[in-house]
Amino acid sequence: MADEASVREVEVDALSRAHFTAHDATAASGGRSRRAVCYLIGDSITEQANDPMNAGWAALLQHKYVRSVDVINRGLSGYNTRWFVQHALPVIENELQHEYKPSLLTLFFGANDAALATGYAGGQHVPLGEYRANLAHIIRSLTPHLPPRAKILLITPPAIIDSARKGGERTNEAAGEYARACVDIAQAENVPVLDLYAFFNTRYPNEAARSTLFSDGLHLSAQGNAVTLALLEHAINDIFDDVELARFKTMQLPDFGTFL
């Protein structure tokens, strides 16, 4: 079973190296006086990541860096890449141009695009070729609005627990096709990618064990959030140099002890 001990093990071991690929890309952040920003884009798996009652990975990320980093969550429940491009991308571009200058921007799409066209969630389905094109378009549209040394991190859709999705509207096999496409686009666009799908299915090949990482076979449980955060932290440490990591880890204002 994927119990608390295994979650702690994930946090301290280096297994994620097998499924995290950092490609050469422009790195660094904007002005040194600016507080570091993590800007999270995705679907419900990102939106729900702020849920403190489920120990959401974004809430945990903000807690870890509360004195040094602002975590901005722009997760949109139910969205696929098509709807994001059509309805959200202009809003996000405006925010990045005028409000936020992220050091890290995550793109975490695919769980809805991979919904089966013939299932009850077929309205969310996006063909694989369009999904690829949409991801590339999003990356190319957002990059000009980022600081010169910022990083975009693609995150693949995670696994699906087939036995928990009674309607059969999503499958682990289909999610894998979209995850591999996400990895391909990351390589083509020269951005790093965190392959959650490969990690979840390799680390927990037994579905019964893997299911403890999910609340409903699609969205993450508290344990799944803890694993995701551990992998994200590993990715952050991998893709940023020491100067950029210092911005994540250095408090914006001094500790009160310095005043005593």
Please give the structure tokens belonging to residue 143. Answer: 């990059």
Q: Which of 19-23, 30-34, 85-89, 242-246 has the highest mean pLDDT?
A: 85-89
* Distance between CA atoms of residues 187 and 55, nearest Å: 31
**Average per-residue pLDDT for the chain:** 90
Boundaries of every domain in the chain: 38-250
> Per-residue pLDDT for 4 more than 90?
no
Let me know if 255 is exposed, middle or buried by CB neighbors in 10 A (0-12, 13-18, 19+). Answer: exposed
Q: List the catalytic residues.
A: 44, 216, 219
- Would you say 153 and 102 are in contact if contact means Cβ atoms under 8 Å apart? no
Q: Which fold does the domain 38-250 belong to in CATH? A: Rossmann fold (3.40.50)
Burial class for 52, CB neighbours closer than 10 Å (0-12, 13-18, 19+): exposed
What tokens appear for 200 in the block?
A: 């979840």
pLDDT given for residue 23 in this prediction: 39
The 8-class DSSP code of residue 149 comes to T
| Full DSSP string of 175-243 | HHHHHHHHHHHHHHHT--EE-HHHHHHHH--SHHHHGGGBSSSSSB-HHHHHHHHHHHHHHHHHHS-HH
Reported in sequence order, the residue ranges of the chain that DSSP labels E, i.e. its strands, are 20-21, 36-42, 69-75, 104-108, 151-155, 193-194
Q: What share of the chain is helix, strand, coil (3-state, %, to 5)?
A: 55, 10, 35
> Which pTM was predicted?
0.88
pLDDT tens by residue, 160-191: 999 999 888 999 999 999 999 999 999 999 99
Task: Please state the rounded mean pLDDT for residues 216-234.
Answer: 98
Structure tokens at 18: 């097998």
